[in-house]
Amino acid sequence: MKTIGICFIIVFTNYAFAQTYAPITITGFNIDAVAETFPNSLATTTQALDQVVAGGNSVVYSAAFAAAAGWTGGVPNSGTIVNGLKTYQMMPYTVNNALFVPAGSTNNLVFTTPASYNLISLLVFSTEGASTFNVTLNYTDLTTTNAGNYTVQDWFGGASAIISGIGRCKRVTSGATHDGVPSDPRLYGIDINLSCANQIKSIASISITGVTSNPAGGGGYVLAVSGVSTNIVAPTISYASNVFCQTAISYTPTVTGATGGIFSSTPTGLSLNTSNGIINVGAGAANTYTLFYTTSGTCPVSASYSLTINPSPTVAVSNYTICSGQTAVLTVSGAVTYAWMPDPTLTSTTGSVVNANPVNTTTYGVTGTSGWGCTATNTLTVTVNSNPSIITISYSICPGEAAVITSTPSVTGGTYQWLPDNQTTASITEAPTNATNYTVVYSVNGCTATATSSVTIKPVPNLTVNSVSICPGQSAVLTAIPSITGGTYMWAPNSQTTSFITESPSSATSYNVTYSLAGCTNTATATINFNANPVLVLTASMQTIAPLDEVSITAVGGDAYTWSTGATGSVIKVKPSENTTYCATVTTTAGCSNEACIDIIVADESVLYIPNVFTPNGDGVNDLFYTPSHNLTSYELRIYNRWGEQLFQTSDPLKGWDGSYGGKPVSSGVYVFILKATGTDNTTYNKSGHITLLQ
């Protein structure tokens, strides 16, 4: 039977910039592949890595083994293998330190400490030709991700090795021979990106399945695992409760984990501040809502919270009039249960119907509770008419108010006749527009009594108040002007009692002022609108220049600009001969302003600046990739794609790449540059790296 073994590096990432891989401690290795004690390479390993019958019978050896044998090569004695930003740590050579994966078998590498990663990398090689394996990631939440099939190169002659020239020797008790050095064998890495959804999960193990068969004795092997820990933090969101009554109260959420996100809700109708998550349960519609908190960034994550706003009941009541000694049957509706304010004249303090036996006119309070537990309170009045003589009083009311004119007879049981409107009740409610006299004629046992009640109308002043707009840090004076002076003032929400107030809010705020004169009131509202200060951003065409080189400095963020040079406008051009700081002040049409400064460095030595991102989309901003420089005597720039194909070359430091090849734009992605230059100060520049192209 033919078998396949697999050795690999897998990387999961969603970042365009380089990150550092750290070794991950795992278990599950099934063979000892490294000879560490000279001369017996048989006793210190558990199996050959290639075909024994075909003259192979080889294993790899440690640097200590090589030194004792007088050879070169060998894997590092420490087991630590470093290539650029990737570091792998093999198991000790005295124990099983490799995973052999034959075709048709599945083997697991178990993480000693499960954790979340952006990237995972496995160190691999194959013998007797290339191998194919399938990789599955297993998470602690019992979900899995199949990363797909991968080809592992033969340990001799493969490309892009992590480490090469480690050598191999025959697996014998003594007299071992070696070969391969200085170029072979080679260990390789295979990298795979982990999705945003999986980066917040903890990896528990990696399952590796052999897919294709190699000649007997050959196959693929795994030596080590490395990775980059995730930086995604899942948020949580909660409020004081998940059930509220529809009252004018605001609640602030508690958010843990990632910050800087935005809030949303469904369905519509909830009064929600999407920036800070504050809800006003009285301003929105009664309903059940789901709130979402979503973070920003490359891999946004969300948290949700469900809450219900139940409507408050409307407690409907009526007022009653009785004679002294009578019982009033008080009836209310609009809720499920009712609690009456304790009063000795009530026969019960619960129920929608209660009896009241007041001796005098009495006001009763009742609180209704809905099926959701929400409450509302209302009052009703039972007017008690005594049985002596008929008495009325006069009233002075404000326009629009009503006066309840009650006659008090000396004996009950009579009839009433009111003039001028011919009403026949003991009490009447009147809302005249002019001063009016109301006369009641009370008849009992053939006798009458007359009384007159005068209702006069108090004057109500008109009230005006100004609204203003301010910038941060400013204050505004709000002045209330009544048409009739002599009254009192009450401002809300600050409870000041003067005709004017001075306020410095940090956001748009409305203020109510109530003006009271002789018991009559009028209310007006003023708003202090808040204009935010502009955010000023200064950029320079170059910040490090030669003396008297011209630099363009651009200001963005407002409407009008004033520079420390005395210039105006959004762009200035300067030619400093020494290090100079340039400042600008921006002012918006609303009159708010801000200031920012930028330093221009004047240098005599050679200067070379290499950006890492450009956007050749034809908008006139950052459309070329070039390297601003100064005082260079030689210059050569080459740009390659990830397959090593040269896309651009120039010896002119003022000439930039426009993101095209063969007259056509290339795709967005990461490209490699190699730059060599020499400065007039004999500084030599040998630079290489990555640039990101965004169309």
- What does the pLDDT look like over 151-167, one tens digit per residue? 999 999 999 999 999 99
CATH 3.30.450.30 fits 236-310, yes or no: no
More confident residue, 531 or 205: 205
More confident residue, 532 or 488: 488
Same fold for the pair 22-229 and 608-693 = no
Superfamily (CATH) of domain 463-530:
Immunoglobulins (2.60.40.10)
- The second-level CATH assignment, the architecture, of 608-693 is Sandwich (2.60)
Q: Which residues 6+ apart lie within 8 Å of 294 measured at CB? A: 261, 262, 264, 300, 301, 302
More confident residue, 682 or 65: 65
* Integer angstrom CA distances of residue 296 from 260, 301, 302, 422, 695: 7, 8, 10, 74, 22
Three-state DSSP state, 199: helix
When the pLDDT of each residue in the chain is averaged and rounded to a whole number, the result is: 88
More confident residue, 185 or 607: 185
Q: What is the pLDDT of residue 483?
A: 87
- The second-level CATH assignment, the architecture, of 320-385 is Sandwich (2.60)
Most confident of 131-145, 256-270, 518-532, 608-622: 131-145
More confident residue, 185 or 451: 185
Whether the per-residue pLDDT at 15 is higher than 60: the answer is no
CATH of domain 22-229: 2.60.120.1380
Whether the per-residue pLDDT at 56 is higher than 80: the answer is no
User: By percentage, how much of the chain surpasses pLDDT 70?
Assistant: 96
**Model confidence band, residue 397 (pLDDT cutoffs 50, 70, 90):** confident
Q: What is the pLDDT of residue 14?
A: 37
State the average pLDDT over residues 247-267: 88
Q: Where are the domains of the chain?
A: 22-229, 236-310, 320-385, 395-457, 463-530, 537-602, 608-693
Whether the per-residue pLDDT at 6 is higher than 60: the answer is no
More confident residue, 401 or 377: 377
User: By percentage, how much of the chain surpasses pLDDT 90?
Assistant: 56
**Model confidence band, residue 104 (pLDDT cutoffs 50, 70, 90):** confident
Return the closest-CA partner of residue 408 out of 342, 328, 321, 468. 321
Helix (H) or strand (E) holding 648: strand 646-650
State the average pLDDT over residues 114-130: 93
Q: Provide the token pair at 503.
A: 């306020």
More confident residue, 103 or 188: 188
Residue type, 226: S
Q: What is the pLDDT of residue 343?
A: 86
Yes or no: say if 384 and 360 are a contact pair by the CB < 8 Å rule. Answer: yes
